[in-house]
A and B are shown apart, each in its own frame.
Chain A
Amino acid sequence: GAGVSQSPSNKVTEKGKDVELRCDPISGHTALYWYRQSLGQGLEFLIYFQGNSAPDKSGLPSDRFSAERTGGSVSTLTIQRTQQEDSAVYLCASSLLLEGNQPQHFGDGTRLSIL
């Protein structure tokens, strides 16, 4: 089915490199969310988009993290100068609307490992 798709599913990179994680939401979903899940931990909310706009970026862990969304569809989460503590599973979700009682639909995440 046409669920939320994330790529790559796994990414291994060296400390100091930049990485870009991609999320393709469900078609027609206006809201998009990014979360981080460290090993054995719960989900940490990072940022959400309403259309192409991210009203609050304060949940991003540091200024090395940035996110954008274009065309009300695909979103990318970019981490610059990666550090070992960035190793985690990065999950993306989308919902039909931001307002109201719309549930979020999650992808299976990108597992990022920083060597």
Chain B
Amino acid sequence: DAKTTQPTSMDCAEGRAANLPCNHSTISGNEYVYWYRQIHSQGPQYIIHGLKNNETNEMASLIITEDRKSSTLILPHATLRDTAVYYCIVRVAKKGTYKYIFGTGTRLKVLA
């Protein structure tokens, strides 16, 4: 079955870059990788997504390997408010229907 794999937890010093990896080795060629984060008691918040090329927006950058089997979310200057659980998601197509696979999530703790 398709799955994504993420480290359980990471710490990052405030002001430094946080690099969050995700392995999605079973992703198919035309499916995107999405990243979300979840702060306690809230619904997941969309961060960024990509297909093949690296992407950047006001929140983060996304680096996708050439073989598309893994990606890294980069928060360039982490702040205390970035403390959250970060999920990468891929969509799996099967027989004309879809399933959405969330990773186990990485609990990022930004330290003052």
Contact = CB atoms under 8 A, between A and B. Distances in A.
Contacts of A103: 34, 46, 49
Contacts of A109: 43
B84 interface: no
Interface residues of A, number: 22
Given A55-B97, A56-B97, A45 B102 contact: yes
Interface residues of B, number: 22
A107 interface: yes
B105 interface: yes
10 contacts: A42-B103, A43-B102, A45-B100, A55-B96, A56-B97, A91-B44, A103-B34, A104-B34, A106-B45, A109-B43
B51 interface: yes
A101 interface: yes
Given A106-B45, A108-B42, 8 more contacts: A43-B87, A44-B102, A45-B99, A45-B100, A48-B98, A56-B97, A106-B43, A106-B44
A45 B101 contact: yes
Nearest to A9: B41
